[in-house]
Amino acid sequence: RVRVRGLTIYRPIIYGNTATVLTPKERESSSNPDHTHRWTVAVRSAASPSDADQVGGADDLSYFIKRVAFKLHDTYPNPTRNIDKHPFELTETGWGEFEIQIRITFIAESGEKAITIYHHLKLHPWTASGEPEIPPLEVAMKMGPVHSWQYDEVVFNDPYNNFLNILTMH
């Protein structure tokens, strides 16, 4: 295999989390009564123009991503969670915000090194005043799910020709 010198190809992604407040019932039946939120952290494709297309699998990044490892706060059991197939996401419950380390490993054909990105897990909504204050749970519950997402591009310089084929033929 040979590298295609001088060529750069990129794939747009979004990464981040959504979070919802647990209902009193959910908290009761939870293994840890301290947990206040359920959240999902994910790496997704930003390439799909509509949700309708994503149903058809256009959102599936596994044609070039082999593994997404989410490294959680040390308060979690087995904090490194490996996701080896689409969808590259993880759902957990908890009580606090923290930095999630996201390590993306590419398929072997790529010859590319893994990359690491960071996402600050966001559980609490912004208050109307913009104060850095955490609103009470009942208030947060009425405000609905919290979303925190970032756009990024995975960039491949001088890609191997076979990997370039995989990327472009998809």
Closest CA to 45 of 104, 101, 128: 104
Residue 98, interface with ligand SLL (CB under 6 A)? yes
Q: What is the rounded distance in angstroms from the CA atom of residue 89 to the CA atom of residue 40? A: 7
CB 166 within 8 A of CB 107: yes
Whose Cβ is closer to ligand SLL: residue 22's or residue 43's? 22
26 binds ligand SLL (CB under 6 A): no
Based on the shown chain and the rule CB under 6 A, indicate whether residue 149 belongs to the binding site for ligand SLL: no
Q: Does residue 164 contact residue 17 with C-beta atoms inside 8 Å?
A: no
Secondary structure (3-state) at 62: coil
- Site membership for ligand SLL, residue 70 (CB under 6 A): no
If binding is defined by CB under 6 A, does position 94 make contact with ligand SLL? yes
Binding of residue 79 to ligand SLL (CB under 6 A)? no
Binding interface with ligand SLL (CB under 6 A): 32, 73, 75-76, 94-96, 98
